[in-house]
Each structure stands twice: as structure tokens, then as C-alpha cells.
Amino acid sequence: QLTLKERLAELIPTEIEKVKAIRAEHGKKAFGPVTVDQLYGGMRGLPALIWDGSVLDPDEGIRFRGKSIDECKSLLPAAPGGSEPLPEGIFWLLLTGEIPSAEQVAELSRDWAARAEIPDFVKEIIDRCPPTLHPMSQFSMAVTALNHDSAFAKAYQDGVSKKDYWGYTFEDSMDLIAKLPNIAGRIYRNVFGDGKLPAIDSNKDYSANLATLLGFGDNQAFVELLRLYITIHTDHEGGNVSAHTGKLVGSALSDPFLAFGASLNGLAGPLHGLANQEVLLWLRKMQSQIGENATDDAVKSYVWSTLKGGQVVPGYGHAVLRKTDPRYTAQREFALKNLPDDPLFKLVGQIYEIVPSILLEAGKAKNPWPNVDAHSGVLLTHYGLDQMQFYTVLFGVSRAFGVAAQLIWDRALGAPLERPKSYSSEAIQKIFKDK
Ligand code: AMX
């Protein structure tokens, strides 16, 4: 059985030829016009990036290398005795487009456990952070600091050839993913616990180890939740803030630690990854104002008061999606199976019946349906992980998989420095003066 790196080495020459052929045949073809509105409007819908791991359809949602979440759930290997897909498997899929064997996935678990230790100075950086510093800021600092031992940065300084970039990027990416549980666990224990951290178990899979580091290792349902959670949060094509930032920074040949540190700073924004924290805060605030088991009318007027206060309803809307996010649905299915009577889950279900029609009536949001963040916090809370300031860190652990996979391919395919053209408003007025 080939290792992931061996399989990649086989795939890369074919992919290089494939890209050459695509560019030879279609390189000069246009996607259509670029409008001035797109420059002012956050580049919405502008075709601008290559991203191979996943593609997002507005109605259908995400497909990882062509496979829907349901297909991934049934095709990717699960842990012995478990039923949710192992994130090790989706990393293999994102990188190769292939479904790994159970043995290949187990090998990845062992490899990541062996690479999991973080340097002492990174531990100290985390330990010195005041508990009032947001966990995402701590997370991004620690990931950036891992650049100290980057294989890519060292190889570049040693003058390695371009064609070998991908191998070093691969090693850094594997180290990055492997070290995230120790970083996340340390932040969690420092901010919310007594700072003491158990060791990684080399016989356990990635999610089981992460659960143990967070203090939930004995709860099999929570471990299964983490497996599903990480799998569905890994990747959401290339244009979202965290994915695009990682690719952009990587294009300057900044190593994967620097590139992914930048991704995390974008994920920490409330319109992106921080929305999972915001949803829980919003739900708790709603409960404190209108009580538990509130009527539909009380929920409706609370939602309206949010909108009238000039705030967004967190967890709803999306820049690309135009239907309910299948990542929301996957989490709802998990809840129906594992915690159908949880009061907060019931509230989330009640809101699902109420918010879309209000957003439609308000008439601004292009997508009134829930996204991934509307559901994740409720599941974590159910198992006792109720410190919502930590939720985006778990999103970040997952997002590393998708960003790392693309960074490896970008270096394998020789992706150039990103440098789009910008214009001033004055320049735009000039260009279109007589048109
Ligand atoms: N509640 C209230 N208003 C909303 C809304 C929501 N959930 N979603 C969109 N709108 C508003 C926008 O703020 C915008 O108002 P404006 O014209 O006054 O600026 C208008 O509707 C049009 O926005 P849009 O084109 O539908 O959305 P977008 O592509 O600009 O932004 C997103 C997408 C996700 C930022 C937005 O829907 C939003 O703010 N949602 C709430 C935050 C959230 O859940 N973010 C997480 C997204 C998923 C993720 O990245 N993890």
C-alpha cells in the first residue's frame, strides 16, 4: 500500500500535463464580462482562482473532489465501531481525489500522532497569553510561530529547486495538521481549565486524540461528532476568506505555517468562522430575553429586533449558497440521531422554521437559509463544550486540511505569485467616461 506522499508523487506529473493541456486548449477563452459592481462588491462571483479540493454549487452545496457529504459519509473509512468518516480520509481525498483504504487512513493517524509534539517555545507563547486574549488570536500566533521549524523555509534558504517545493510543503502541511490538536488543546485548557494537558496516544485517530486533549476523550459520541465536524469543515472551495488568504499568502512562497496563520486571522472574523461563536451568543441572549420553550411569535419578534438593530442573524445567509447548507443538514441529522430531545437543538429547529421567511420579508439577504455555523455550537454545547469563544478554533483545526491540500498542489503545479489588478474610483471614472 502506498503512503499519501508516494501516491501524490505518482499523481503530480499527470496533473502537470493535464493543466498544460487545459491551458493550451482553453487558456485564452473568457468566462464573461467583469463588472464594476464586482470590484466594489467583494468580487462576488468573479472567476479568479483554481482550487481543486472542492467546488461549491449554489443549490447543492459542497462537493469534495466531486463527492457530496453523504457520499463522503458512506465511502470514507470510519473508526472501528464508529460510523462517522475519519478526517484522515477526507485529507487523502482532498489531495488525491481518491478514497483511501482503512489501512492508509490508519497510517495517517499514526503519522500525525508521531508528529504531534509542539516545540517548548510555542508552548510558552500559548502559556503566556492572558486568558482574556481570544482563543483565535492565541491560535494564530502559535501556528505562525511553528514557522521556526519549517522544512520549506529551510529548503528555500538552502536553494532547493522549484520542482521539489511540493515535497517540503507536504512535510510542513503534515506537521501543521498534526500539531493543531496540541495547540488547540493547550489553549482550551489554559483559558477554560487548569492548564494541564494529557499526552497524545499514538494508537488513536486524530479526532480521538483531539477529544482527549480537550477533556472529552471518554465520550464516544463526542469523538464521533468531532470526526464528522472536522470532515465537513475542512474545505469550502477557494474563494472564502480563510481558504483564499492561505492560498494568497502561500503564493508569496511563505511556508504553510505562515500561510495558514493568515487564514486563521480571516477565519476569526464574525462574518466568516467566528459566526459559530456568534450563533451561540445570539441563542443564549434570545433565551435570556424570551425564556426557554418560547412561542414562535416571541422568537419572530426577537429575530426582527436583531435585524432592526442593524445586526445580522448569525448562521444565516451565504455569499455563494442559495439553499440550506448541506453541512447544516449533516449536523441536523447527527442531532436527530444522538440528541433529539436537547432543548437548544429544538430551538435551532424552531429558528430554522422562522428565520428564512423573515429574511425574505426583510428583502436584503440573497440567501435566507442557514449555513454550517447555525448548527455546530449546539452540538458541542450538548456534550459540555459550552465555551463558545473556543468554537472557531475547532473550525480552524478543520480548515487546515483544505488549505494545506491546496498549498501542496499549488507548489506542485508551480502556481505563481497572486497579483490581481486594482483600480481607484478615479481611474474607473476615467475609463468609463465616454463609454
Ligand atoms: N442577517 C441579516 N442580514 C443579512 C444576512 C443575515 N444573516 N445575510 C445577508 N444579509 C444582508 C447583508 O448584510 C447585506 O446587507 P447590506 O446590503 O445592508 O450590506 C445584504 O443582506 C446582502 O447580502 P448578501 O449578498 O445576501 O450576502 P453577502 O454575500 O454579502 O454576505 C454573509 C454573506 C455570510 C457574510 C452574510 O449572509 C452574513 O452576514 N451572514 C451572517 C453571518 C454568518 O453566518 N456568517 C457565516 C458564513 C459562513 C462561514 O463563512 N462560516
Q: What would the pLDDT profile of 47-87 be if each residue is shown by its tens digit?
A: 999 999 999 999 999 999 999 999 999 999 999 999 999 99
Read off the pLDDT of each residue in 360-366 and give the average, rounded to a whole number.
Answer: 97
Short-list 407, 131, 52, 47, CA closest to 263? 407
Read off the pLDDT of each residue in 188-203 and give the average, rounded to a whole number.
Answer: 96
Q: With a 6 A CB cut-off, is 319 part of the ligand 1 pocket?
A: yes
CB-CB contact of 330 with 69 (8 Å): yes
Which residues are known catalytic residues?
A: 272, 318, 373
pLDDT in tens, 391-420: 999 999 999 999 999 999 999 999 999 999
The pLDDT score that the predictor gives to residue 434 is 84
Atom of ligand 1 nearest to the CA of 325: 48
CB-CB contact of 51 with 247 (8 Å): yes
ipTM over 0.90: yes
Residue 189: pLDDT above 90? yes
Q: With a 6 A CB cut-off, is 366 part of the ligand 1 pocket?
A: yes
Distance CA 162, CA 285 (A): 53
CB-CB contact of 207 with 154 (8 Å): no
How far is CA 426 from each of CA 316, 421, 422, 433, 435, rounded to the nearest angstrom?
36, 15, 12, 10, 15
Nearest CA to ligand 1 atom 37: 317
Distance CA 332, CA 67 (A): 20
Q: With a 6 A CB cut-off, is 313 part of the ligand 1 pocket?
A: yes
pLDDT in tens, 229-270: 999 999 999 999 999 999 999 999 999 999 999 999 999 999
Q: With a 6 A CB cut-off, is 312 part of the ligand 1 pocket?
A: yes
Looking at the domain 1-25+37-272+391-428, which fold is it? Answer: Citrate Synthase; domain 1 (1.10.580)
- pLDDT bin (cut points 50, 70, 90) of residue 178 is very high
Nearest CA to ligand 1 atom 17: 364
User: CATH 3.30.70.260: does it fit domain 275-382?
Assistant: no
Instruction: Round the average pLDDT of the chain to a whole number and report it.
Output: 97
- Kindly state the cell numbers that stand for 314: 448569525
Q: With a 6 A CB cut-off, is 54 part of the ligand 1 pocket?
A: no
Percent of the chain with pLDDT over 70: 100
- The Å distance, Cα 368 to ligand 1 centre, comes to 9
Atom of ligand 1 nearest to the CA of 311: 2
Residue 435: pLDDT above 90? no
The pLDDT score that the predictor gives to residue 108 is 98
Nearest CA to ligand 1 atom 35: 271
Residue 422: pLDDT above 90? yes
Short-list 54, 424, 23, CA closest to 234? 54
- The Å distance, Cα 140 to ligand 1 centre, comes to 25
Residue 28: pLDDT above 90? yes
Give me the residue spans of the domains in the chain.
Answer: 1-25+37-272+391-428, 275-382
